[in-house]
Amino acid sequence: MILDPEAHGRTDTAIRALLALGYEQVEDKIAWQSCHKAGPASFTLVSSHEAAARLLTPYLFPATAPGFTLYLHVGPVPAWDFAHTSDRHLERLHVSEDELLTAQYDVGTRCWSIWEEESQRGLLWIHSLEDLPAWHQTAPFRNLIHWALAHTSAVLLHAGTVDNLLLAGKGGSGKSTTVAACALAGMGTCGDDMIAVEDLHAYPVFNSVKLDASQAQRLGFGIGLQVSEKAAYRYTDLGMRVPLLAEITAIIIPIVSNADRCSVEPVSAAVALLALGPSTAFLLRGHEQQSLEKIKALVRAVPCYELKLSHDLKDVTDTLSFLKDSV
């Protein structure tokens, strides 16, 4: 939807008023404060609802220094009745013309996410914990972190890492199983689904790996948190090594196959861009152009390869172990 400037400005004003109300709701009754990592950055979480904070923080990594501030409130949520710049499914998105104010409202769950760049503050306003989708537990404040990084040199990506290798691909491409198998074999990982990247370095954001039940069983995992037909686990609970940062020396695009042995072929930066860009833009709405420019710079800076995965997990881990030492 294309808005005229006057309607755009009215929406900005209304969202800023809502943001101020949310801040006031939290500050009137602060029940929780904690510091967490957001890739190369960090943030302070301030909440008026202790149970909500306890639900959403176990899959975050702790930080020792404060950074930007995220407010968390649970209570009756004003419905979206503003003009908006984009909609998809049950979501409403608005980005101000100067891109310094970003807001998203989920109609189905009655959940607001708002980020104000000038003040380096954001708000997650939830109608009720019962309405909150389970993915919020394993990737909490995902959109707010994405927006907070948008005006920096860092970017949140739909990708994973195995030591110095970045794994790119849409859902179902084998990233999570590959990352989990390699991590169990002793290699480090910054994540299997969402990582932050800055200056050819990957950073962990969420302490979670999500697997299909069959793959979790294949790897010997127990029953995890159920998230959208997948089971979620914390890397640290599984004894996996999560480095604070990892240098990226190559991009690997895994492809599921029934081959007996893995095979590796070099691919162009354009192929890697297609593996990273669309899926990142689909999951992380708003500021897509900034993300795309950072992804373009990344895929041009390092060699890119396609990895056809065999059905033998040991062969997969051996192949990745060889690649990480040879690129």
Q: How far is CA 45 from CA 19, 38, 60, 169, 190, in A?
A: 16, 11, 11, 31, 22
C-alpha to C-alpha distance for 325 and 17, rounded to whole angstroms: 53
Q: How far is CA 297 from CA 15, 17, 162, 294, 301, in A?
A: 33, 37, 20, 5, 6
Q: How far is CA 103 from CA 11, 70, 71, 125, 235, in A?
A: 10, 14, 14, 11, 31
Query: In this predicted structure, what is the pLDDT of residue 98?
Result: 94
Q: Taking the model in full, what pTM does it have?
A: 0.94
Query: In this predicted structure, what is the pLDDT of residue 78?
Result: 83
Query: In this predicted structure, what is the pLDDT of residue 225?
Result: 87
Query: In this predicted structure, what is the pLDDT of residue 228?
Result: 78
Query: In this predicted structure, what is the pLDDT of residue 223?
Result: 86
Write out the chain's pLDDT in tens, 327 residues. 444 556 667 889 999 999 999 999 999 999 999 999 999 999 999 999 999 999 999 999 999 989 999 999 999 988 777 666 666 656 789 999 999 999 999 888 889 999 999 999 999 999 999 988 888 999 999 999 999 999 999 999 999 999 999 999 887 778 999 999 999 999 999 999 999 999 999 999 999 998 988 888 888 898 888 887 888 999 999 999 999 999 999 999 999 988 899 999 999 999 999 999 999 999 999 999 999 999 999 999 999 999 999 999 999 999 999 999 998
295 close to 280: Cβ distance less than 8 angstroms: yes
| Domains of the chain in sequence order | 5-150 (no CATH), 155-326 (3.40.50)
Query: In this predicted structure, what is the pLDDT of residue 261?
Result: 96
